[in-house]
Chain A
């Protein structure tokens, strides 16, 4: 995959806070810092993996990038054909236009489709909303995409309903729907985690092939590092709303530097009974970033933490050479 040098998405100081326990008449002073001061650049044509455990903020980040959620702070710049726009401040017409350029693929192919719409209506809906093409154009385009995602012959799928398809086929429909209006950026949130192995590989291979062929840029959200390795050029590891490490995929897997990434990598089971994994150094589970203290988010679980970590703010994400970014004072 060739990585072009231009930045497609530039995320700066992005934050999303959710109030805890606020009601209609009461404001809350407790917040979950789901995404906090996140900085990330996504190059045009590359696939970036956003990896972390449940509750680390990866899905919230995906929703912010597609403007399904409004950010609390920060900016998200998208480099469109018509210049750079800040996604965070889009309104009305401009927001609708933005939706044509950015699409999302969801985790659950059973929940993400309207059971009353045929496959044709499901895939053609984005064109309908955006007012693209005549009926015949749309039919042609839907047929073309069905074949592209491996649901051939298209005519035998077009007028079926989602419940008539298997999970793998539905996820292919979801991919077709996301690509039908030729977006430049696709956020895929765990698109294969509900699928069985023998079906999952087909969907992963399809997404990779389409990324190359249609030069789509992906943000691939997953908890599974093995899947991220297979799908992504670069991987960002998230922990409690922060990116703690960020590098090219093989560099990250072979030379992990942040203690959290190291623990995560040695905890992943390996499908080879003779392989000896390194012992995991950290204990316990992930907590919730509710009004977090101004120190490293990983402090409590970190095997290397000392007083310096305790008395300083969360470490900045710094380039440690070879475009390998790490947010840790001890690296």
Chain B
């Protein structure tokens, strides 16, 4: 049995708004094993970032975890009080955000910010050890340690994102959540960073959840991929299975809607309609209004998220389009 660093069971999170509850995350199940990289992909509003902030319990006031378990090394984070969660956050589970400029404090040097995280969470470490560690982290993410006493605004976008990754790695977490870390970067800088992230993740044998809207980026960094749609996990399988043998009609649609610069130039197929409003999601399978294979059952009952073959999970009444 593979050791799971993180297990998410039946996670359901709603936002309360003036117009009523938004069903942002609904009955989501997945796990991440040690040393494994899991990609979460989906369109805006599909719940991928809501999952990330639920895992860290960094919820805004109007968000509520309705049910489920978040097991980090076997400990459920959901019932824990904020003071308890703090012991886990950053130390066991850390996060890299999309907007690196906003994730750093402009009035402290990059070194001071990394040290602050370590002083908070690693009280037993001596100052000399910490200095050494900062240098090691800089080299790990591909930054020259001589830049460490500069301020965030003196860094380029790619360097800043590397610094944020160094910060997230500073307390040797068991799992790191990366939410669109390369989205704001140009392709050449993005390519270098993706390669670096993948290398670090392998070297440290660290578990990672990589969130992105870009399926091409997800293909580069993930061992397994979860495809989300309208707050639910639609399909989850090995990266190769997701890209070569998708069985959920939404995943199948995504694959034929995404242009590529390699291979034959093919006509892209449009998914009809738009993602649903999560204030008022359609009953049954949330993809049913756009699905070419939908039948009556799809409009009435939510399909279970189950294993169809060797760990290839999907929530669909007609996997692969079968009748």
Contacts and interface: CB of A to CB of B under 8 A. Distances in A.
Interface of A: 53-54, 166, 168-169, 196-202, 204-205, 223, 225-227, 229-230, 250, 253, 263-275, 280, 282-283, 285-286
A272 B243 contact: yes
- Of A202, A227, A271, most buried by chain B (CB within 10 Å of CB) is A271
A271 B188 contact: no
B243 A271 contact: yes
Contacts of B144: none
Contacts of A282: 188
A10 to B, nearest CB: 28
B257 A198 contact: yes
Contact of B274 (A168, A227, A270): A168
Nearest to A194: B44
A286 B186 contact: yes
Nearest to B222: A273
Nearest to A269: B216
Nearest to A203: B270
A250 B261 CA distance: 9
B271 interface: yes
B219 A272 contact: yes
Interface stretch (B189-197, B200-208, B305-313): B189-197
B83 to A, nearest CB: 39
B187 interface: yes
A230 B268 contact: yes
Given A196-B213, A200-B257, A280-B192, A268 B265 contact: no
A136 to B, nearest CB: 32
Contacts of B156: 285
A230 B261 CA distance: 9
B220 interface: yes
Contacts of B262: 270, 272, 275
Contacts of A169: 274
B253 interface: yes
Contacts of B82: none
B271 A271 contact: no
A226 B261 contact: yes
Nearest to B223: A273
Nearest to A56: B186
Contact of B270 (A166, A205, A269): A205
B72 to A, nearest CB: 28
Contacts of A204: 259, 268
A201 B260 CA distance: 13
A229 B186 CA distance: 18
A196 B43 contact: yes
B214 A230 contact: no
- Of B240, B253, B261, most buried by chain A (CB within 10 Å of CB) is B261
B223 to A, nearest CB: 9
Nearest to B229: A198
